[in-house]
Amino acid sequence: MNRIASILLTAFALTLVIGCEPDLSKKTDAELGLNPQQAQGRHVYQSYCTQCHPAYSSSGNKGPRLKGMYKKEYLPSGLRAEDRFVEDVILHGKRMMPATHLGPDQLQDLIAYLHTL
Ligand code: HEC
């Protein structure tokens, strides 16, 4: 096969793969393999965070994308991707992000869920 044809074929195959990416936000907690605490955290997330940070989309809405946030070393702001910094952002807000008032249990559930993104 010549080079151009193989490039075109690769591009086509990639389009198919991307186009068929399942919308994880429509999956149930069980389908996502969430344990009870993570599932609780998902509900907290959907109440307080989704409007600005869609959970599984690679593009943020009003805030930066959080997909895979703990898989990287740093948060978008440059802070280390560690629970203490994330908790601080959630409880106190950051520039355009408002503070969210959560109880200690809700916060821990939410953090557990964020680790699954
Ligand atoms: C009204 C919109 C809005 C809501 C609601 C919101 N955020 Fe944000 N978030 C933002 C914006 C805007 C930023 C970027 C802040 C900045 O300028 O650094 C951000 C940044 C972040 C960051 C990255 C912080 C860093 O240091 O880089 C995390 C983590 C985060 N948000 C998590 C959450 C979680 C979890 C919730 C739900 C409790 C939430 N956000 C709710 C808008 C929002």
Ligand 1 site-directed mutation target among 44, 53, 72, 111, most atoms within 8 Å of CB: 53
* Assigned superfamily of 26-114: Cupredoxins -  blue copper proteins (2.60.40.420)
Whether the per-residue pLDDT at 32 is higher than 60: the answer is yes
Instruction: Give 75-114 pLDDT, tens digit per residue.
Output: 999 999 999 999 999 999 999 999 999 999 999 999 999 9
Nearest residue to 83 (alpha-carbon basis) of 107, 59, 56: 107
Minimal-distance CA residue to ligand 1 atom 40:
49
Interatomic CA distance for residues 11 and 26, integer angstroms: 27
Interatomic CA distance for residues 36 and 78, integer angstroms: 31
Q: Is 98 in the pocket of ligand 1 (CB under 6 A)?
A: yes
Instruction: Give 43-75 pLDDT, tens digit per residue.
Output: 999 999 998 988 776 555 688 888 899 999 999
In sequence order, what are the residues at sequence separation of 6 or more whose Cβ sits closer than 8 angstroms to the Cβ of residue 7? none
Minimal-distance CA residue to ligand 1 atom 41:
49
